[in-house]
């Protein structure tokens, strides 16, 4: 009887990241290479990014802020409101690298504003 294979122990200092949501790891790597490991937002999030010539300067693994973890870029569709079941079928040229802040801002900005309903009118009893 053979012993089961031992689980691979990660090297110290290596952080295991979850699998990318869209595509495979090769697709993620291709999009990140095209983007230069930098967020590809050019104002879709609502920010002007004016200090960096109109493009977000967040880099994958870069400084996330005091007490925050490093920035982890996501590869997601250009349209941040696209449902995941449709996004699973997009091609690499329809994907872009997003930092979490820009993707959340772009999704919020792309959604139509909520309509506020008028308060219910009380009907006269008599």
CA dist list (Å): 15 to 8, 42, 60, 97: 13, 29, 14, 20
30: nearest Cα among 95, 90, 118:
95
According to the model, what pLDDT value does residue 38 have? 92
Separation between Cα atoms, residue 25 and residue 80, nearest integer Å: 20
Separation between Cα atoms, residue 54 and residue 37, nearest integer Å: 16
73: nearest Cα among 43, 108, 102, 53:
102
According to the model, what pLDDT value does residue 29 have? 84
- Provide block-wise average pLDDT over 10 residues at a time, the chain (126 residues): 55 52 66 90 88 88 86 88 82 88 89 72 65
- The sign of the CA dihedral 31, 37, 42, 46 is positive
Whole-model pTM: value is 0.65
* Vertex 54: Cα angle to 59 and 35 (nearest 5): 40
According to the model, what pLDDT value does residue 5 have? 56
According to the model, what pLDDT value does residue 79 have? 87
CA dist list (Å): 82 to 18, 42, 85, 102: 21, 19, 8, 15
According to the model, what pLDDT value does residue 39 have? 92
């Amino acid at each position: 009887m053979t012993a089961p294979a031992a689980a691979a122990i990660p090297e110290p200092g290596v952080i295991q990241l979850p699998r990318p949501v869209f595509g495979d790891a090769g697709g993620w790597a291709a999009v990140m290479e095209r983007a230069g490991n930098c967020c590809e937002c050019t104002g879709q999030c609502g920010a002007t990014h004016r200090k960096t010539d109109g493009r977000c300067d967040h880099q994958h693994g870069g400084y996330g802020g005091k007490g925050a973890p490093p920035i982890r870029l996501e590869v997601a569709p250009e349209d941040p409101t696209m449902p995941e079941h449709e996004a699973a079928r997009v091609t690499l040229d329809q994907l872009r690298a997003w930092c979490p802040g820009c993707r959340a801002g772009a999704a919020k900005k792309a959604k139509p504003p909520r309509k506020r309903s008028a308060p219910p009118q009380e009907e006269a009893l008599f």
